[in-house]
Structure 1
Amino acid sequence: MSPKLKTFTLGGLFVLGLSACTSSPTGRSQVILFSDSEMSQLGAQSFEQMKQNEKVSNDAKVNAYVTCVANAITNQVPKQSSFDQWEVVVFNSDQVNAFALPGGKIGVYTGLLKVATNQDQLATVLGHEVAHVLANHGNERMSRSQITNTGLQVSDFALAGTEYKEMAMSALGLGVEYGINLPYGRTQETEADIMGIDLMAKAGFNPQQSVQLWKNMAKASGGNQPPELLSTHPSHSTRIQDLTKEIKHLPQYTTPTPNCQA
């Protein structure tokens, strides 16, 4: 199938924006312009590019551990219409990071394992990242960028133009090294935190460890996080306070605790 191009005029974007209004899993209003299948194909393409450009870890023990935690999380996710199964890849890098992409792609950098020091803390991060996918945050960012750049032409599938490919990869949260910076906003981050700890608790992990994870993150950052007012992310202290409050309202799940060995 040859790539199609979406071109929106200002009036067309307004009408399309009205017709594309939907609600996130927490009830927040969203404008979503792209289909699940388009986002899944874009996520799969971006993931393949990352596997070619990044060093993939061959450590069997680390891979088994990360996959065990990721599978416990994704087993709690309803079957998705746009892909059949989740794929987990560990990247050998000092980055303290992880991500999840539309199409069921999960990437974890080995540097994260030095900060997320047990399975519950790793589950905090992976629950958060999977929540970004479930809440269509990448789609929301791309849609917002599309509306902001009125008249921009974006390929549905191939995204052959380098400028557009970089924008799309950045919108999926793959970082500035892959394109312009389109960070998740504070609202999206908080939403992913709320959904993420519910996912990890449902999977049998200890949500109390989410607080410790962010204490570890604060320590690892060495106090270099910008003031909350200037940041698109909640501050570590705000995140810890919000998670502490949210944990008190979690349902009492009865899922057995996973046994993922680091």
Structure 2
Amino acid sequence: MRWISRLAMGALCISLAACTSSPTGRQQLTLYSDEQLNQMGQQAFNQYQQELPAVGGATHRYAECVASALVAELPQQQRAQNWQIRVFEDDSANAFALPGGYMGINTGLLDIATNQDQLAAVIGHEISHVLANHANERVSTQSATQLGLSVLQSTAGIQNEQMLGLLGAGAQYGILLPFSRRHESEADILGLNLMADAGFDPRASLTLWENMSAASNGQPPVWMSTHPSHGQRIDDLQAGMNEALARYEQASSAGKRPNCSRPG
């Protein structure tokens, strides 16, 4: 099934000049404008706010303190966005950042991220998804995959529903999910450096994922998951830790020492 992705991506890149590079130099397919992605982000954020109650007070101030320190380290264009963060009352350990500068954290995550540095690891990771245009790449890849399957169906005359189902599953597990795992790994490293630049201890990212692993009731096999395993994440973070620690020491020397009080 890989040739479907290559065919669709190649055709779209040539015809639409839609190939860009991520902050790590990886080639991306990005078919949508920033305005379109920001609208998608706003719609998703509004829906999230309608479904879950927001938490204010000291909990919100704590999350906002951590997020603001990270946003201050972004490139000027991204820093100028109207970033806003909300804490939602939900027991699931989840967080997100969306195009347009929308961020959310569930209260369940605050039970796992037990200090400001661990929370910075989460928020930095989520912000990095936005910086690296992962949402654009993901929806663009889905569009390209659907195009490839449509072309295959029309040119090969495939009508058998079972065969089409197998092709769809091959596209899902062979194309879309590997892209998602790649996004997660890329955001881990970008987020690690971002938190270090803001003066948060990057070693806390390792503790965070150890906490995540302990709190997890088991994960699906890596090849069926949109996320790397906790062990893979920890290994990748350890591999990038020397650079992150150097950035952290430089930030500390420059007086960047966030002091965000976690609610009791």
TM-score with structure 1 length normalisation? 0.78
Secondary structure of 1:108's counterpart equals strand
User: Quick one: percent identity of the two aligned structures?
Assistant: 49
CA distance in 2, matches of 1:151, 1:48: 32
- Cα shift at 1:50: 1.4
**More displaced 10-residue stretch of structure 1: 73-82 or 142-151:** 73-82
- What are the superposed Cα offsets for residues 143-171 of structure 1, whole Å, 9 maximum, x if unpaired? 0111122299xxxxxxxxxxxxxxxxxxx
Q: 1:227 aligns with which of 196, 221, 233?
A: 221
CA distance in 2, matches of 1:184, 1:214: 21
Counterpart mapping for 1:1-262 below 5 A: 15-18=11-14, 19-58=17-56, 60-80=57-77, 84-150=81-147, 185-222=180-217, 224-250=218-244, 251-252=246-247, 253-255=250-252, 256-262=256-262
CA distance in 1, matches of 2:59, 2:32: 35
CA distance in 2, matches of 1:29, 1:131: 16
AA matched with 2:185: T
CA distance in 1, matches of 2:110, 2:210: 15
AA matched with 2:213: A
TM-score with structure 2 length normalisation? 0.78
Structure 1 or 2, whichever has the larger Rg, is 2
Secondary structure of 1:217's counterpart equals helix
CA distance in 2, matches of 1:16, 1:229: 27
C-alpha distance 109-183 of structure 1, shift in aligned 2 (>3 A): farther
- Cα shift at 1:13: 7.4
May I ask how many residue pairs the two structures share in their alignment? Answer: 222
AA matched with 1:248: N
On the 8 A contact 1:93/1:111 being kept in 2, the answer is yes
Secondary structure of 2:105's counterpart equals strand
Secondary structure of 2:219's counterpart equals coil
**More displaced 10-residue stretch of structure 1: 136-145 or 73-82:** 73-82
C-alpha distance 232-84 of structure 1, shift in aligned 2 (>3 A): closer
Please, which runs of 5 or more residues in structure 1 have no aligned partner?
Answer: 1-10, 153-180
AA matched with 2:199: G
- Cα shift at 1:249: 2.2
AA matched with 1:16: L
Please, which runs of 5 or more residues in structure 2 have no aligned partner?
Answer: 1-6, 150-175
